[in-house]
Amino acid sequence: MNNPYNRQMIKKIPLILLCIISFNALADFQTLSTQQVQQAKKDGVAIIDIRRADEFQQYGVIPGAHKLTFFDKNGQYDTQKWLSSLKKVVPDQDTPFILVCAHANRTKTVGRFLSGKLGYQNVQELDGGIIGGWVDKGLATTKIPAGEGKSWYKFW
């Protein structure tokens, strides 16, 4: 063990362990495919749609999803009010739930906050959001019948 290389490696072990532990802490936030969300929905996992009312009107909502707007159109939010609403659907920090927004950008922000800062253990999001992960796949919303979803970039 007098080898200088070995001593350097031993000094790095705590740093490596810290990185592994930190990575695992972030693992509490998962991105799910459309198929995984469909199965979770069948299994009774709550879907929390964090978009605004104008967005619910435009694309509809995944049937059975809970509408809990997080950011207003100016990007403002009331964390305590939102968490109070969330607790009515997600009773504790171990209960799994799926966040949905338009493109999965806001869900990343909210999901990482819930898992990383508040200790929620089973935060998940729909990959691509309701537009790229649901409507584009031809799945129904409360506004769009199944098979009739078209992306804004598809002109045919």
Contact 90, 97 (CB under 8 A): yes
* Domain extents in the chain: 29-137
Report the distance separating Cα 140 and Cα 6, nearest Å.
59
pLDDT value for 93: 95
Q: In degrees to the nearest 10, what's the CA dihedral of 68, 80, 90, 143? A: 0
CATH class of 29-137: alpha beta
Q: What is the DSSP string of 5-55?
A: HHHHHHHHHHHHHHHHHHHHHHTTEEEE-HHHHHHHHHTT-EEEE---HHH
Per-10-residue mean pLDDT for the chain, 156 residues long? 53 48 56 97 98 95 97 95 97 97 96 95 97 94 81 48
